[in-house]
Chains A and B, each alone.
Chain A
Amino acid sequence: MHPAPSVLVFTVLSGLGFGALAFLAVFVHPYGWPAFALWGLGYGLAIAGLLASTFHLGHPERAWRAFSQWRTSWLSREGLAAVATLVLLAPVALSDWLGLGLPRAFAVPGAVLALATIATTSMIYAQLKTVPRWNHWTTPAQFFAFALAGGAMLTGQGVAPLLLALLALALLAHWHYGDRRFAEVGASMGSATGLGPLGRLSVFDPAHTAGNYLMREMIFVVGRKHAARLRVIALVFACLIPALILFLPAHPATTGAAVLAHLVGAFAARWLFFAEAEHVVGLYYGKRQ
């Protein structure tokens, strides 16, 4: 699948933002300007991610319509959950900043919805049977691990190193199972064309001699040869380096450095998430490796 920059930014930043919001709502009770900074960071990341997602739309001015189909569409649910989270947590954030003393119970629905947002984002991808690598429990696991580990780091939680270790496991599981998923699902050029029972199949003549939307969007082959190296880079930057930095004395600078390193790894991992994912339509083009 084509790793569109807008979608990478959307999933990485909004994941981190909603993870941070969940922690801020329940486990962190900042007040005054530190509260403003932390909540501002959470909101800023979440909103930046959501805005980035509109850049890959053909008609962003119609994006409001995406709130209507929550009954069947994970993308619609994602939009609703995201906006509901931001709305519900706004009074809590204001209360923390201005010291209004709103009871903490008010933050619980928002925290639950922040987690729901992360779940719905992951399900946009995990629901697709056509992309076997994504259509697996390791996709939500990876999205949750990223959001929670990133959120814990950003809000200075002691549990962050443990969550980073879980993230490493989630990534390893996604790669381990992902590499087998296509074969497991059983789609082949034979089943795609129905000609499998007749004999050995190969592409004789392509349907078109130039590229098209399908090939640009779903048959992304560039860079797969560096997959192994990128996996190591993702693990080292997203998990290992931040975990080591977090053992240094707590300071905004160390937290910042840990989060920045984590983001580099997160972008590498998310790029791979798309670049390595193969869509079954590639079978018609003989582009399945």
Chain B
Amino acid sequence: MPKDEYQSRDFRVVGTRPIRPDGIDKVTGKARYGADISAPGMLWGAILRSPHAHARIKGIDTSKARAMKGVKAVITRADFTHQPEDADMADILDNCMAGDKARYDGHAVAAVAATSKSIARAALAAIEVDYEVLPHVTDVDEAMKPSAPVVETGRQQENVPEGYSENVTGRSQYGHGDPESGFEKADLIVERSFKTAATHQGYIEPHACLATLGSDGQGDLWVCTQGHYMVRNVCAGVLGLDAGQLRVTASEIGGGFGGKTHVWMEPTALMLARKSGKPVKLVMSRDEVFRATGPTASSSVDVKIGMTKDGTITGATASYRLQAGAYPGGIAFLSAMCGFAPYDLENVRTEGFEVMTNRPKAAAYRAPGAPMGAYPVESVIDELCQKLDLDPLETRLKNAAREGTKSSYGPTYPAIGLEATLNAAKSHPHWSAPLGPNQGRGVACGFWFNFGGDTCVSLMVNPDGTVSLSEGNPDIGGSRASMTMMAAEELGVPLDQVRTIIADTASLGQNEVTDGSRVTFAVGLATIKAARHAIQIMKERAAMTWGIDPEAVDWRDGAAHPAGPNAGKFPPMTIKEIAAIASNTGGPIAGHHEVNAEGAGVSFATHMVDTEVDPETGAVKVLRYTVFQDAGKAVHPDYVEGQFQGGAAQGIGWAINEEYIYGDDGRLQNAGFLDYRIPVASDLPMIEPVILEIPNPGHPYGVRGVGETSIVPPLAAIANSVSRAAGVRLTSLPMSPPKVLAALKAE
């Protein structure tokens, strides 16, 4: 697919702010989320979870539970008789239902289906598990030591150097040039170590699904997920079903942020449904969401950057160690790719270590790996600016990546928007606003790749000329609105003549998960192409009607127009007129497009934040926040702004208060919204979004993804702000009051 898709044009619909099509259902309570659906004869499922961080399962006695009235199925790992050959599938199965051992506090060990929630709960209590508790490790640095308890042996890749525990499953390296020679040219080198805590996506809707599965292998699954095709493929792989026999329908989704790009319990629901012969509804409690679905990784990072007095970065290295939870995999490689991506560097090297621990399997969280990639780098750049008395925005501009820059992770950039965000920041009134006592202003940049991937869209022209658009990606941030807008734009019809739905897995071809900020780009591209396909057919139908060559027909304003030598010879045929006679001109009209979308445009942001630190308590108050980000083209600016604001808010939580807290016993101590402290309304100021539009050359309208980049800069922006306000460099997240006060007192 060509990467020079972009063509400048005047938009009619794109760039406006219509009311979203799924809005009324959502403000009236009618929208149906994962737990909002029931089925006749439905049972309630429930999962028993390990209270131990690491324990061998010597036996499970389910006899008492089975004997209880109202209990219709009790399952353990022994009931999953299909053993997947694929290692990833085998890991997912083991994570959904523990095999020989429980690998973390909250690991599922058994499940029941019963006629009521309370019977299901009582049945769980009647299951007896014989555990042999094993030594555990939850800290990433501890887990890397050769003496650490090993979560699973035999999973280390060959790229891991000697001297590390088997918990270290992989190591990746990126960069170019020679940092050591670069450091020699520096006037100042700052080298520091940083830590970030594991944080949860914190979506308000717990995981939920409703499953049926017959002995013939035919099943249906209703589920809240960011990717129902992924759920289908994984469930089929784990259970040994034919993917085509399992139809998965995505419910409305109550937030995901990456946490719903994985399968945590759906095979369990299907297995309970098969064993009981009834539909089974399985809904996680909040406690289960925290203990048994993936937060993002915690990290431990060393960064070294050399800079000249005029602000040129001469050399840079970073070593990222991220704990991946109880299974191989991980996202340290993404940290290692993203950390220096905003800069044009001669000498840069990064490495990333993927480390297993006795924690839940780490999951994607909005630009996975990038926030902990950027935080240490942007912190050290800020410290260099402070010590060299340099302007932090000018210094970033001086080193900024631009078109033609070879990125720190390999590729050479096409047109990108980093400089535009920095220049917008520089000229914004926020930058020159006065600060009071105990206040500081921080800035930081961030990068995210943005994804493309497998995408299918079908666009049906109905007999009355209205349009039904089917896409296969759950709408997590207003994508039905943006698809409807792009289809209406391309077809030249009013917005209200298009309705977009999320089709089930039996209705479209494979679609990649809603992740990587891919949907507005990739599904948008497929929507535009599907519309063009339909337009081509409608032009042919008009040409046939007129008896002219289809090449001599133009499409504009929702109608076919005779063009060239035939211009003006016939009155235009509207989509409505063409649709009305479709049956007589060749049959129903539909466009479709199937693609592995390439050409996603990378995106950059600069964030600016003012904080005030209470010198007596260490409490941090966020006073003012401004986001500058390149959207490529903002299809629906309200929802672009919403992504900027939401990402910033999550970053604020990550920076100041959110963290997974484990006790010495390896148990999670704060598995609830009371002590896992996400920002509440009174914690935040208004968050001002500034949209820059530097078109992505790889999309017909110039669209880039916007959803994830906004969480990348906040960690460092706030750390820089707090460090300047407090007069002491903070190097560990979250910057909770006890930590800030201790740092102040240590000064």
Chains A and B form a bound pair: no
Show the binding face of B for A, using Cβ within 8 Å.
none
Show the binding face of A for B, using Cβ within 8 Å.
none
